[in-house]
């Protein structure tokens, strides 16, 4: 019943076809790119189904408000074209299944969403979160489910997301600060694309951190680190929030190294690639990405997503680049970590 | 005090012998499903000489003796089925020698796995032994006596294959050296190039003698160790997957598990393998070879590597791994038993189907846990069930399910591992008659009075 809002005529008249022209994993000229996108929209076959590695970036590249990646995902699902091995998809669907094991702190009108990433229990503390905690929620019952677009499975999202919204509605919260970038992407981008009503205002935790750091400005001691930022796939769903990375870094005196694979050109952590496509793709992407960090003298690799940190953290550490989550970095700047 | 009690006290000292009800209660049972049976005495010797004396006494009195390690074999092997004397080996726990160059350790017959691994970690950080996933109190001698398997089994075979020699108190009370140590000061081989007499004791559950010392072979401990888990929803592909992994010869240990809980594991089969290396390059090289070997399954979408959450890694890497112990209490009440036949890897699909069928038929919590043995020549497939000890119906259902496993095992060409008395009987009945005759000859010649762990490997002619 929830249908993707996609306007094919926008593709037909698109002057750039950036969605596929800019793709880092396929090499397409504008005309071909446009043709393939229209093919996909019309339900025809396309080699894009083979070549797309589910990095989500085309959602950002499209400047006309269309949803190229969601469309690819929908059509893949319709055609039964799997991205991931069946067992992996099954496993992830099981992982996200609500089991009544959720945790709710003392939710006020504004609540912190930990998604179901237990890492946030350790991070959401200290002065940054003084005013916000213990208003938090955690668990599959509040899980944004966006990850399933990696697995060409939007039907599970359409089934679960409305129930998740209902759980939020029952809590009566007005604002949800999403500590996981994916959740924000889901509530602010994916849900509207499918006409799923979101009963609260989603707030990206970057905004929360930025505002809070401004309040704590006097406590900030510039860190003077040179860092590389690991942009997660989900950040492509909320590119308007990406600028906050620089704003926050400026505020805490951290210098973002100007490297090749950042901003629009960022590379995925490779976690999903390893699961879906095997060694070569994951290894190639990770190697290029990490070498690029090292080449530009990054002392820290700053993560937005704990899952990316889980995938790449140890690897960058072995190269002498310290892995750190954005929240921890900000806590460090106010002398807490 | 009875005469036997007096004599035992004379041998080991009064503090180390008991016939008090609380001790008798404890030594009458194990954590498995076998009904308890009380011993008459429990004795805790500390020297070989004391064990010799105890065995001589038992022979004179025609009283059974049952050697016991930690009592964790679960299949009733230390339950004194005919009463008599339980010899608790725990005080014989000295680590006597480590030969670093020849890579072996000589330990006493009651030394636990945990003791040896802690000792090596502290004093010989470049050496390790094949640790089973049993709780660390499990003893090394008992484990090889039952042909246990451990963390190096995929590469090196059964833990009993990794024995470098034995010292045994025979049922007559004599002490006998087995292996190279019979002729040399070196404990480097349990048999070759001499006739391999270790087979007279390994696999006999103490029914032919008591191991008082043994040499355990040690192997390089690499600086780094990592684990990967390959997941498939098609059980019938598991033998192929194992074949590819073992073909690379890069994995240290290969385990498989299939279980419905936690939910993330439902409906899939998980082949986990461990890799080791002294450098990152070595580790990565091994990882890459195995990943590439499984590429065709990924391409066909038949399987893939799961991303192991960082919080799960330490649990998977710990030795022993506690997941089996955790399963032991899912139903609360601490009941856990598995039948773990040794069977060809090609039988994995049938075994996992059977396990699911039995669990659903009897309404049991289950886990299928596999350890690949010796490069894939065979595997131990544990049909594991957890039950609540205070729920007699659940216990009875577990018994029934395990009985069905016993029947199934023979049909699919499996051989019982650490069999219950009932399974021993089934094995003897079904084996080649001349093999049975040979086993009987060995048992009767070594233990003419039938005092050694009677009820086990018992030959009803
Ligand atoms: C959670 C769990 C996980 C397990 N995982 C594993 C595993 O990964 N690998 C594995 O191999 N096993 C495993 N086991 C089974 C078992 O615990 C081990 O094999 C363990 O090594 C048995 O040692 P024990 O000291 O408890 O033996 P016991 O139960 O005390 O004895 C076993 C047999 O050996 C005989 N015996 C004891 N000492 C001597 C001796 N000195 N001389 C002669 N005979 C002797 C006994 O009479 C008995 O017949 C597991 C058990 C549990 C509960």
- Mean pLDDT score across all residues of chain A: 97
| B190 and B163 Cβ atoms separated by less than 8 Å | yes
> Predicted confidence band at B323 (pLDDT cuts at 50, 70, 90)?
confident
Asked which of B381, B396, B411 is the last residue of a domain, the reply is: B411
So what's the pLDDT on residue B282? 98
d(CA A117, CA A113): 9
List of chain A residues whose C-beta atoms are within 8 Å of the C-beta of residue B292: 279
So what's the pLDDT on residue A317? 97
Peptide bond into B243 cis (omega under 30): no
Q: Is B145 in the pocket of ligand 1 (CB under 6 A)?
A: yes
Whether residue A113 is found in the same domain as residue A190: yes
> How is residue A184 written in tokens?
């924000």
- Give all strands of the β-sheet with A255-256 in edge-to-edge order: A255-256, A226-230, A300-303, A322-325
Q: Is B55 in the pocket of ligand 1 (CB under 6 A)?
A: no
Whether residue A319 is found in the same domain as residue A229: yes
| B306 and A91 Cβ atoms separated by less than 8 Å | yes
So what's the pLDDT on residue B33? 87
User: In this structure, is residue B417 part of a structural domain?
Assistant: no
User: In this structure, is residue A264 part of a structural domain?
Assistant: yes
Q: Identify which of B269, B288, B298 has the shortest CB distance to residue A277.
A: B298
Q: Which residues pair with A86 in a beta bridge?
A: none
CB-based burial, B185-202: b 16+ in 10 Å, e otherwise? eebbbbbeeeeebbebbb
So what's the pLDDT on residue A100? 94
List of chain A residues whose C-beta atoms are within 8 Å of the C-beta of residue B306: 88, 91, 275
User: pLDDT for B426-448, tens place per residue?
Assistant: 999 999 999 999 999 999 999 99
- Closest-CA distance of chain B to residue A129, Å: 24
d(CA B336, CA B366): 10
Q: What is the CATH number of the domain that holds B6?
A: 3.30.43.10
Q: Is B81 in the pocket of ligand 1 (CB under 6 A)?
A: no
So what's the pLDDT on residue B460? 67
So what's the pLDDT on residue B1? 66
> Predicted confidence band at B461 (pLDDT cuts at 50, 70, 90)?
low
Question: Is the confidence at residue B99, as pLDDT, over 60?
Answer: yes
| B228 and B305 Cβ atoms separated by less than 8 Å | yes
- Compute how many other C-beta atoms are within 10 angstroms of the C-beta atom of residue B206: 25
Share of chain B above pLDDT 90, in %: 92
Whether residue B196 is found in the same domain as residue B337: no
- B50, B71, B145: residue to mutate for ligand 1 pocket, most atoms within 8 A of CB: B145
User: pLDDT for A151-201, tens place per residue?
Assistant: 999 999 999 999 999 999 999 999 999 999 999 999 999 999 999 999 999
Q: Is B69 in the pocket of ligand 1 (CB under 6 A)?
A: yes
Asked which of A151, A185, A208 is the last residue of a domain, the reply is: A208
> Predicted confidence band at B330 (pLDDT cuts at 50, 70, 90)?
confident
So what's the pLDDT on residue B300? 97
> How is residue A138 written in tokens?
């955690």
Asked which of B201, B220, B239 is the last residue of a domain, the reply is: B220
Whether residue B154 is found in the same domain as residue B257: no
**Range of B296's domain?**
224-411
User: In this structure, is residue A232 part of a structural domain?
Assistant: yes
Q: What is the CATH number of the domain that holds A229?
A: 3.40.50.1860
User: pLDDT for A265-311, tens place per residue?
Assistant: 999 999 999 999 999 999 999 999 999 999 999 999 999 999 999 99
Q: What is the CATH number of the domain that holds A175?
A: 3.40.50
- Closest-CA distance of chain A to residue B205, Å: 41
List of chain B residues whose C-beta atoms are within 8 Å of the C-beta of residue A91: 231, 264-265, 268, 306
Rg of chain A taking only CA atoms, in angstroms: 20
DSSP A129-187: GTTTTT-EEESGGG---GGGGTTT-HHHHHHHHHHHHHHHHHHT-SEEEESSHHHHHII
Is any Cβ of chain A less than 8 angstroms from the Cβ of B412? no
Backbone angles phi, psi at B74, to 5 degrees: 75, -15
Q: Is B205 in the pocket of ligand 1 (CB under 6 A)?
A: yes
Q: Which residues pair with B387 in a beta bridge?
A: B335
Q: Is B149 in the pocket of ligand 1 (CB under 6 A)?
A: yes
Nearest-atom index, ligand 1, CA of B139: 25
Query: Residue ranges of chain A with pLDDT lower than 50?
Result: none
- Mean pLDDT score across all residues of chain B: 96
> Predicted confidence band at B25 (pLDDT cuts at 50, 70, 90)?
very high
Residue B35 Cα to ligand 1 middle (Å):
18
> How is residue A78 written in tokens?
């319709």
So what's the pLDDT on residue B411? 97
Q: Do B301 and A97 touch (CB under 8 A)?
A: no
Whether residue B161 is found in the same domain as residue B302: no
Whether residue B256 is found in the same domain as residue B400: yes
d(CA A171, CA A187): 16
Residue B78 Cα to ligand 1 middle (Å):
9
Q: Do A87 and B295 touch (CB under 8 A)?
A: no
Asked which of A78, A95, A110 is the last residue of a domain, the reply is: A78
d(CA A248, CA A123): 17
For range B220-246, the mean pLDDT? 98
Q: Identify which of B265, B266, B301 has the shortest CB distance to residue A86.
A: B301
User: In this structure, is residue A3 part of a structural domain?
Assistant: no
Whether residue B339 is found in the same domain as residue B252: yes
Q: How many domains in chain A?
A: 3
pTM: predicted TM-score of the whole model, two decimal places: 0.95
> How is residue A176 written in tokens?
């949800």
Which range (A23-27, B58-62, B389-393) has the least confidence?
Answer: B389-393
Residue B107 Cα to ligand 1 middle (Å):
16
Nearest-atom index, ligand 1, CA of B67: 47
Q: CA A306: distance to chain centroid?
A: 10
d(CA B261, CA A96): 14
């Amino acid at each position: 019943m929830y249908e993707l809002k996609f306007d094919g005529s926008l593709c037909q008249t698109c002057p750039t076809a950036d969605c596929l022209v800019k793709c880092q994993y396929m090499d397409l000229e504008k005309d071909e790119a446009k043709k393939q996108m229209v093919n996909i929209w019309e339900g025809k076959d396309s080699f894009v189904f083979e070549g797309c590695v589910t990095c989500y970036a085309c959602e950002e590249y499209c400047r006309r408000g269309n949803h190229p990646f969601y469309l690819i995902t929908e059509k893949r699902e319709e055609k039964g074209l799997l991205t991931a091995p069946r067992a992996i998809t099954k496993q992830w669907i099981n992982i996200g299944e609500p089991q009544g094991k959720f945790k709710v702190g003392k939710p006020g009108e504004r609540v912190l969403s930990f998604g179901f990433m237990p890492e946030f229990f350790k991070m959401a503390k200290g002065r940054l979160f003084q005013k916000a905690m213990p208003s938090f929620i955690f668990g599959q019952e509040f899980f944004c489910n966006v990850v399933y677009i990696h697995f060409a499975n939007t039907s599970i999202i359409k089934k679960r997301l409305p129930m998740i919204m209902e759980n939020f509605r029952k809590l009566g919260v007005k604002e949800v600060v999403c500590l996981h970038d994916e959740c924000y992407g889901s509530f602010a981008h994916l849900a509207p694309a499918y006409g799923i009503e979101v009963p609260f205002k989603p707030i990206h935790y970057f905004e929360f951190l930025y505002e809070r750091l401004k309040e704590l400005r006097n406590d900030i001691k510039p860190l003077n680190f040179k860092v590389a930022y690991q942009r997660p796939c989900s950040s492509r769903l909320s590119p308007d929030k990406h600028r906050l990375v620089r704003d926050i870094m400026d505020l805490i005196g951290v210098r973002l190294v100007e490297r090749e694979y950042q901003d629009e050109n960022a590379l995925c952590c490779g976690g999903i690639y390893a699961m879906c496509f095997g060694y070569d793709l994951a290894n190639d992407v990770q190697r290029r990405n990490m070498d690029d960090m090292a080449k530009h003298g990054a002392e820290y690799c700053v993560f937005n997503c704990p899952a990316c940190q889980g995938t790449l953290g140890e690897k960058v550490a072995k190269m002498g680049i310290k892995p750190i989550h954005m929240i921890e970095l900000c806590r460090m700047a106010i002398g807490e970590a | 005090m009875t005469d036997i009690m007096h004599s035992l006290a004379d041998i080991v000292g009064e503090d180390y012998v008991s016939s008090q009800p609380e001790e008798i209660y404890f030594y009458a049972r194990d954590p498995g499903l076998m009904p308890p049976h009380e011993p008459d005495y429990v004795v805790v010797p500390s020297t070989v000489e004391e064990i010799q004396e105890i065995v001589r006494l038992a022979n004179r009195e025609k009283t059974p003796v049952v050697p016991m390690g930690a009592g964790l074999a679960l299949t009733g092997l230390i339950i004194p089925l005919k009463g008599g004397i339980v010899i608790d080996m725990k005080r014989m726990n000295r680590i006597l020698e480590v030969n670093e160059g020849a890579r072996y350790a000589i330990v006493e017959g009651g030394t636990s796995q945990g003791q040896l691994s802690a000792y090596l970690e502290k004093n010989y950080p470049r050496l390790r032994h094949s640790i089973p996933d049993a709780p660390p109190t499990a003893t090394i001698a008992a484990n090889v006596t039952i042909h246990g398997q451990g963390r190096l089994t995929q590469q090196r075979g059964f833990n009993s294959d990794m024995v470098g020699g034995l010292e045994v108190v025979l049922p007559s009370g004599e002490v006998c050296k087995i292996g190279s140590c019979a002729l040399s000061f070196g404990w480097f081989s349990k048999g070759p190039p001499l006739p391999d007499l270790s087979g007279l004791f390994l696999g006999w559950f103490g029914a032919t003698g008591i191991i008082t010392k043994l040499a355990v072979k040690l192997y390089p401990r690499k600086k780094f160790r990592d684990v990967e888990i390959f997941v498939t929803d098609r059980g019938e592909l598991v033998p192929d997957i194992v074949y590819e992994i073992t073909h690379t010869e890069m994995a240290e240990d290969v385990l498989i598990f299939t279980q419905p809980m936690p939910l993330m594991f439902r409906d899939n089969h998980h082949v986990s393998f461990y890799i080791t290396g002294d450098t990152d390059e070595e580790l990565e090289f091994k990882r890459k070879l195995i990943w590439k070997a499984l590429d065709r399954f990924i391409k066909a979408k038949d399987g893939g590597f799961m991303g192991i959450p960082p919080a799960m890694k330490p649990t998977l890497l710990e030795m022993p791994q506690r997941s089996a112990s955790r399963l032991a209490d899912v139903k609360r009440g601490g009941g856990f038993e598995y039948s773990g036949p040794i069977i060809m890897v090609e039988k994995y699909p049938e075994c996992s189907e059977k396990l699911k069928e039995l669990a659903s038929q009897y309404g049991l919590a289950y886990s299928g846990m596999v350890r690949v043995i010796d490069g894939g020549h065979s595997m131990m497939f544990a049909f594991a069930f957890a039950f609540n000890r205070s729920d007699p119906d659940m216990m009875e259902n577990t018994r029934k399910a395990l009985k069905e496993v016993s029947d199934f095992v023979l049909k699919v060409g499996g051989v019982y591992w650490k069999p219950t008395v009932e399974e021993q009987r089934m094995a003897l009945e079904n084996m080649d008659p001349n093999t049975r005759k040979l086993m009987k000859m060995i048992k009767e010649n070594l233990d003419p009075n039938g005092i050694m762990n009677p009820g086990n490997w018992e030959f009803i002619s």
